[in-house]
Amino acid sequence: MGRYDLALIGFGGVNRALAELISRRGDRLARELGFTLRVVAITDLRAGSLVDTDGIDLAPLLAAEPGELNFAGLAGGSADPRNEWVIREVPADIVVEATFTNPADGEPALSHVRWALESGKHVCTTNKGPVALAGRALKQLAAEHGVSFEFEGSVLSGTPILRTAQRLFGGLEITGVQGILNGTSNYVLGRLEEGLDLPAAIAEAQDLGYAEADPTADIEGHDVQLKVMILANEVLGADLRRGDVFCEGISAITPQEVQDAASKGLRWKLVGSATRHEDGSVDARVAPLALPAHHPLAGISGPVNAVAFHTDLLGTVTVSGPGAGRIETAYALLSDLIAIHQRHADDDTTPTRPVLQETHRV
């Protein structure tokens, strides 16, 4: 039975939920999927870093409150995240990147992904930055090193929107996409309809683990902008940059406007869309829209998201599911790990792993 050793970069809501899945469902996953998962390294800005090439005992880490985690006092631990050393030197098979998304330049996650691929390690990530801002280059780097770069969770969390489009729409021409692509803002708009004010609604989304570290990205549309870029580049064959995508968020919409619209059968939604024209060019934008009740996206509520694919043979195909959530997004990472296993299980030349030199042990 195959085994994959994982290095978790970032140990917040999502990677912690993945660790819980591994810790509590590992045996069942092994029986069902034919491989086992072992965490050999964890780094985090707040907790530091922890390495055990025999496999970290996750239970005590998961029993601790997230804010109380401190790896410094543990065997193989350090107060320093040591990201580059962990990513490049620790003999893991797969690096799982789940640090903050930085919409401006995708760093430091972009470097984390690059270091891992350069080291011949597979990468799966839920971080939108590297995928939106450097996806083409990173996929090329992965191919050069014979490894996989998977990012299903970068759009619609655990809802398999990218693989659906890439694997199940063969023979179709997809001419455009339109979606509700952010769980936080959709949850917030629903709470405004119910009479809550914006700060309170945002705080609820943060408590539920939906929001970005800086929820401005959710509210002002920057998160959706990155996701529209990913959809356009991955599904419509575009090569969009942030400057190509108009972006307006929902902060200017008052609770009263939201409630007035609802009383008229309209629902305010933050919508990301991309359209491919006859000449192959692609336009994309992010903007709030007051949708009529019959619109396929009007009934999408809470942290649920949806993407309507406009196709030549089927008309509009809409896929909906969770767009945010710790465990839902951890599942996206698990689906990436499964994809890596399916693609590489028969590899007869598994890259040889450097043995962690004693000098590197802490």
Ligand X SMILES: N[C@@H](CC=O)C(=O)O
Ligand Y SMILES: NC(=O)C1=CN([C@@H]2O[C@H](COP(=O)(O)OP(=O)(O)OC[C@H]3O[C@@H](n4cnc5c(N)ncnc54)[C@H](O)[C@@H]3O)[C@@H](O)[C@H]2O)C=CC1
Residues involved in catalysis: 227
157 binding ligand X? (CB under 6 A): yes
**Pairing of the two strands 266-276 and 174-180:** antiparallel
211 binding ligand X? (CB under 6 A): yes
CA distances from residue 3 to 123, 254, 313, 332, 338 in whole angstroms, order as listed? 16, 52, 42, 19, 12
| Shortest distance (Å) from residue 162 CB to ligand X | 13
| Shortest distance (Å) from residue 18 CB to ligand Y | 9
Q: Is there a contact between 288 and 250 (Cβ–Cβ < 8 Å)?
A: yes
| Shortest distance (Å) from residue 259 CB to ligand X | 22
218 binding ligand X? (CB under 6 A): yes
- Among the listed residues 151, 210, 268, 309, the single contact to ligand X using CB under 6 A: 210
Nearest to 113 by CA among 100, 103, 101, 125: 125
Q: Name the residue with the smallest CB distance to ligand Y.
A: 12
Q: What's the rounded Cα separation, in Å, for the pair 282 and 41?
A: 41
Which partner from the list ligand X, ligand Y, none does 325 bind, CB cut-off 5 to 8 Å by kind? ligand Y
**Pairing of the two strands 94-97 and 122-125:** parallel
Main-chain dihedrals φ then ψ at residue 244, nearest 5 degrees: -85, -10
Token match 């640090």: residue?
Answer: 99
Token match 């990468």: residue?
Answer: 123
| Shortest distance (Å) from residue 88 CB to ligand Y | 14
| Shortest distance (Å) from residue 341 CB to ligand Y | 21
Main-chain dihedrals φ then ψ at residue 82, nearest 5 degrees: 50, 40
Looking only at residues 290 through 329 of this chain, which bind ligand X when binding is defined by CB under 6 A? 323-324
Which partner from the list ligand Y, ligand X, none does 182 bind, CB cut-off 5 to 8 Å by kind? ligand X
For the CA atoms of 327, 330, 332, 334, the dihedral, rounded to the nearest 10 degrees, stands at -120
| Shortest distance (Å) from residue 50 CB to ligand X | 26
Nearer to ligand Y by Cβ, of 129 and 176: the residue is: 129
Q: What's the rounded Cα separation, in Å, for the pair 188 and 301?
A: 10
Q: How many residues bind ligand X (CB under 6 A)?
A: 11
Is 359 exposed, middle or buried (CB count within 10 Å of its CB: 0-12, 13-18, 19+)? exposed
212 binding ligand X? (CB under 6 A): yes
Expressed in percent and rounded to 5, the helix, strand and coil fractions of the chain are 40, 25, 35
Nearer to ligand X by Cβ, of 161 and 258: the residue is: 161
Residues that bind ligand Y (CB under 6 A): 9-14, 43-46, 81, 83, 98-101, 108, 126-128, 153, 157, 209-210, 212-213, 324-326, 329
159 binding ligand X? (CB under 6 A): no
Nearer to ligand X by Cβ, of 51 and 334: the residue is: 334
* Contact letters for ligand X, residues 177-206 (x by CB under 6 A): -----xxx----------------------
Which partner from the list ligand Y, ligand X, none does 218 bind, CB cut-off 5 to 8 Å by kind? ligand X
| Shortest distance (Å) from residue 323 CB to ligand X | 5
Nearer to ligand X by Cβ, of 78 and 335: the residue is: 335
Q: Is there a contact between 204 and 191 (Cβ–Cβ < 8 Å)?
A: yes
Q: What's the rounded Cα separation, in Å, for the pair 331 and 319?
A: 17
Nearer to ligand Y by Cβ, of 99 and 262: the residue is: 99
Nearer to ligand Y by Cβ, of 56 and 282: the residue is: 56
| Cα angle, residue 344 at apex, residues 341 and 348 outer, rounded to 5° | 135
Interface with ligand X (CB under 6 A): 157, 182-184, 210-212, 218, 223, 323-324
